[in-house]
Amino acid sequence: LVVKLNLSLVHSLASLTAYWLVTRPRPMRPPCDLQAQSVAVNGDPSCRRSALLKDDSLLDFYYDDTKTAYDMFQRGLRIAGNGPCLGFRKPGQPYEWISYTEVAERAQVLGSGLLAKGCQPNPQQFVGIFAQNRPEWIISELACYTYSMALVPLYETLGLEAMVHILHLAEISVVICDREEKAASLLENKEKGVTPKLSCLVLFNDFSDAFVERAKNCEVEVLKLEQLMVSSVEVLDPYNPPQPQDLAVVCFTSGTTGTGSFVIQQEDVSISYLPLAHMFERMIQVSMFCHGARVGFYQGDISLLMDDIKTLKPTFFPVVPRLLNRIYDKILGSVTSPLRRALLHYAVRRKQAELSSGVVRNNSLWDKLVFNRIQASLGGNLRFALTASAPISPTVLSFLRATLGCLIFEGYGQTECTAGCTFSMPGDWSAGHVGAPLPCAMVKLVDIPDMNYYAKNGDGEICIRGPSVFRGYLRDPEKTSEALDSDGWLHSGDVDIIFWSPESEQMCVYLCQNGTLRIIDRKKHIFKLSQGEYIAPEKIENVYMRCVPVLQVFVHGDSLQSYLIGIVVPDPEVFVDWVKERGFVGSYEELCQNPKAVLEDMKAEGKSAGLKSFEQVKDLHLHPETFSVANGLLTPTLKSRRADIRRVFQEQISSMYSKTAI
Ligand SMILES: *[C@@H]1O[C@H](CO)[C@@H](O)[C@H](O)[C@H]1NC(C)=O
Ligand SMILES: *[C@@H]1O[C@H](CO)[C@@H](O)[C@H](O)[C@H]1NC(C)=O
């Protein structure tokens, strides 16, 4: 028995040693000194470029033979040929794949069909697309690029008014839609006479005869995608492929960040579920195609996304903080026993220690013992993820880097610079910043005196220059010249962009010692919640001010929270009586202890004023003392001093968030 025990001990030791040798951590060598990730341009420390560049000339093209979105697909086609390109699945089924060759052929046939319907093969021709993510979306896009036409993505949350404005501005005659309901909403505008140019709707799905009849009555032709494809008498060669200076896409939205193509390989698979109308997703897709990699589409229902991911087994996961927060909550929620929880936290700390020395891996003992199931729930093939659109909490980011064992990059950018501006440097797995400028972008800080931000202190508004900066707003030279100064710097924050995009991106940033940037805030107090929804707090406050018991109101939220809360000063003149009618009695101060009735009244007011549910406050603190100039909470012009109110009520704010945590 003793011999046997010893033998098995030797055996175990040997296999442990072998295991360690095979899986010992190897740190990734970063491409530059992580303590100097960006470099001052022309001796000006507040103007920075990537440390990866040799000199101040920015990177225009990643590959010399690839200068347009059309070229990018052609490059992937050369690499992958009959290899898989676009994947889709029916409920409960595995993924089916359309090859690169097939996508290119279908795009050419579809493009010829569009020309047969009178579209012109030049970048002044705008073609609308109004559909959820699916292979036909990408085929339609490529059809446009194949004949140098420009794509105009439409999406539901734009709202009716904006949609009409876009169709009108871009003189769109053909819109490609997925379903009859979407096409019907466009038809309604034509019937009202507000989009007279609209003459052809192309649908992916089947539609009713009644719809065709209705369209005919207002001189709109309705076709199924396949019909349009056979309608082209001959398939034309792209005799006029787009040039680098040609317009490719008009985005009526603001999205965020870009992708560094340095990490994508032909074997990579990405999951497509973020809005294709946003620059973020557009950039991810073209980067995938450029490398002959493949994209699988979700079934169109976000509640099935995790099942789609498990089936698709992506290697690349483009993601937004909201989803990562949900994954984080789920992991923590799934370990209930104290012992398992302690083990999880211990394992996370061990992996985090490796992270800080540059090691990211999924084959440590902790991965086998503790994180195996978590990694399997995302398909088990994840190599890297990219988070953007809102800052992610450093706690969540570093927890997930440890548990998922894959590279998670964070980026910052905006639509006006084709999504990408800054990006985490490979090898820098620290959190709390958005990386250094990409090699295609130069950034500079500009003072914002009224917020006390000065470039010489390392903070200010971020301005961006480089080949990825946009050409301008469609048919709006005035707004364009406000956004782009004569030296080519993009100051999008100074512009109230376009009326349907109620946001100002004037982004205040802090330049860290090591050359990375940290986002501080958006000017004009507009902010995003963690899901990426934009909040204009003053607009919401103006709605709540209408409530009888409300004298003053301050709406608070930030990009690490998923909902809003409020601080309300009840109107001393009416509050006591107003509450009495609802069955509560007490002094003004006592009644301030119970915000329930006021909260309900505000929600009702908000609803009738058309606030979206994420624009409503979820909890309230009633404060018995009026905000005034004297107590420092109002400006001389009686506007809220937002930063001061936030500071004074810091305690109440955090207690509301911890109390209502869902
Ligand atoms: C671990 O990472 C490698 C590459 O980085 C990947 O191929 C593999 O699928 C990953 N395994 C799991 C379980 O995530
Ligand atoms: C860079 O600086 C930021 C801000 O001080 C910090 O959070 C981050 O950890 C630093 N990164 C590295 C690699 O030192």
Q: Which one, of 346, 513, 337, 327, lies nearest residue 404 by Cα? A: 327
Counting Cα atoms < 13 Å in the Cβ hemisphere of 590 gives 7
468 lines ligand 1 (CB under 6 A): no
**Mean pLDDT for the chain?**
86
pTM higher than the cut 0.85: no
Measuring from atom 7 of ligand 1, which residue has the nearest CA? 381
Non-local CB neighbours of 551 within 8 Å, separated by 6+ positions? 568, 569, 570, 571, 572, 626
Q: What is the mean pLDDT of residues 488-497?
A: 62
Greatest Cα pair distance in the chain: 94
Tell me what pLDDT residue 53 has.
92
513 contacts: CB under 8 Å, gap ≥ 6: 35
Is 514's C-beta closer than 6 angstroms to any atom of ligand 1? Answer: no
Predicted confidence (pLDDT) at residue 409 exceeds the cutoff of 80? yes
**90 Cβ partners below 8 Å, 6+ apart?**
299
Q: Three-class SS of residue 65?
A: coil
Percent of the chain predicted with pLDDT > 90? 52
Query: Tokens 């097939």, residue?
Result: 102
- Answer yes or no: are the C-beta atoms of 198 and 172 closer than 8 Å: yes
Reported as a single tens digit per residue, the pLDDT across 413-429 is 877 777 788 999 988 99
CA angle 414, 417, 421 (to 5 degrees): 75
Q: What is the mean pLDDT of residues 575-592?
A: 90
User: Is 403 a pocket residue for ligand 1 (Cβ < 6 Å)?
Assistant: no
Residue among 309, 320, 288 nearest 387 (CA): 320
Q: Is 432 in the pocket of ligand 2 (CB under 6 A)?
A: yes
Alpha helices of 521-574 — where are they, by DSSP H? 537-544
User: How far apart, in whole angstroms, are the C-alpha atoms of residue 357 and residue 502?
Assistant: 42
Mapped onto helix, strand or coil, the DSSP state of residue 462 is: strand
Per this entry, what is the length of the chain?
662
pLDDT at 443: 92
Tell me the Ramachandran region of residue 215: left when phi exceeds 0, alpha when psi lies from -120 to 50, beta otherwise: alpha
Domain 47-59+298-522 and domain 527-661, same fold? Reply is: no
pLDDT tier for residue 573 given thresholds of 50, 70 and 90: confident
| Predicted local distance difference test score (pLDDT) of residue 202 | 97
Q: How confident is the model at residue 374 (pLDDT cuts 50, 70, 90)?
A: very high
* Type of residue numbered 443: V
Query: What secondary structure does DSSP assign to 268-303, as a single string?
Result: -EEEE-S-TTSHHHHHHHHHHHHTT-EEEE--S-GG
- pLDDT higher than threshold 50 for residue 570: yes
Mean pLDDT over residues 610-622, rounded?
93
Closest to 141 in 3D by CA, of 316, 292, 289: 289
Among the atoms of ligand 2, which is closest to the Cα of residue 35? 14
Distance CA 94, CA 307 (A): 11
pLDDT at 354 over 80: yes
Decide which of 3.30.365.10, 3.30.830.10, 3.30.300.30, 1.20.140.10 is the CATH code for 527-661.
3.30.300.30
Q: Is the dihedral of CA 65, 69, 71, 73 positive or negative?
A: positive
Give the confidence band of 385 by pLDDT, cuts at 50, 70, 90.
Answer: very high
User: 267, 364, 367, 381: which to mutate for ligand 1, most atoms within 8 A of CB?
Assistant: 381
Alpha-carbon dihedral sign for residues 180, 185, 189, 195:
negative
537 has pLDDT over 50? yes
Asked if residue 283 has pLDDT above 50, the reply is yes
Please report the atom of ligand 1 found closest to the CA of residue 379: 14
Q: Using CB atoms within 10 A of its CB, is residue 161 exposed (0-12), middle (13-18) or buried (19+)?
A: exposed
In three-state form (DSSP H/G/I as H, E/B as E, the rest C), the secondary structure along 11-42 is HHHHHHHHHHHHHCCCCCCCCCCCCCCEEEEC
pLDDT at 493: 60
Per-residue pLDDT at 7: 61
- Residue 502 clears pLDDT 60, i.e. is over it: no
Relative to beta strand 442-446, strand 436-437 is: unpaired
Which bound ligand lies closest to the C-alpha atom of 510? Answer: 2
Lookup: tokens for 113: 């069909």
Average pLDDT of the segment spanning 209-227: 95
CATH class of the domain whose range is 69-252: alpha beta
Full strand arrangement of the beta sheet holding 221-224: 150-153, 126-130, 174-177, 200-203, 221-224
The terminus-to-terminus CA distance of the chain in angstroms comes to: 56
Place of tokens 């030797």: 10
Distance 402 CA to ligand 1 centre (A): 13
Pick the CATH number of 47-59+298-522 from 3.50.50.60, 3.30.70.520, 3.40.50.12780, 3.40.30.10: 3.40.50.12780
Is the distance from the beta carbon of residue 516 to the nearest atom of ligand 2 less than 6 Å?
A: yes
- Please report which confidence band the pLDDT of residue 257 belongs to, taking 50, 70 and 90 as the band edges: very low
Say yes or no to pLDDT of 563 above 80. yes
Q: Is the CB of 381 under 6 A from ligand 1?
A: yes
Q: H or E stretch including 436?
A: strand 436-437
pLDDT grade for 553, boundaries at 50, 70 and 90: very high
Distance 225 CA to ligand 2 centre (A): 51
What does the pLDDT look like over 67-98, one tens digit per residue? 888 999 999 999 999 999 999 999 999 999 99
Q: How far is residue 552's CA from residue 460's CA, in Å, rounded to a whole number?
A: 31
Q: How confident is the model over 207-227, as a mean pLDDT? A: 95
Nearest by Cα to 312 from 84, 531, 106:
84
Q: Is 383 in the pocket of ligand 1 (CB under 6 A)?
A: yes
Of the bound ligands, which one is closest to the alpha carbon of residue 381?
1
Higher pLDDT, 615 or 233: 615
Residue 146, pLDDT score: 93
CA separation for the pair 71, 61 (Å, rounded): 11
Q: How confident is the model at residue 29 (pLDDT cuts 50, 70, 90)?
A: confident
- Domain-by-domain residue ranges, the chain? 47-59+298-522, 69-252, 527-661
Band (66; pLDDT cuts 50, 70, 90): confident
Express each pLDDT in 466-489 by its tens digit. Answer: 888 888 888 888 888 888 889 999
The dihedral region occupied by 92, where left means phi > 0, alpha psi between -120 and 50, and beta the remainder, is left
Phi, psi for 222 (deg, rounded to 5)? -115, 130
Q: What is the pLDDT of residue 660?
A: 54
The pLDDT, as a whole number, for residue 328 is: 83
With cut-offs at 50, 70 and 90, classify the pLDDT of residue 520.
Answer: low
Q: In the chain, pLDDT over 70 holds for what percent of residues?
A: 89
Per-residue pLDDT tens digits for 302-336: 889 999 999 999 999 999 876 887 788 788 878 87
CA-nearest residue, atom 14 of ligand 1: 380
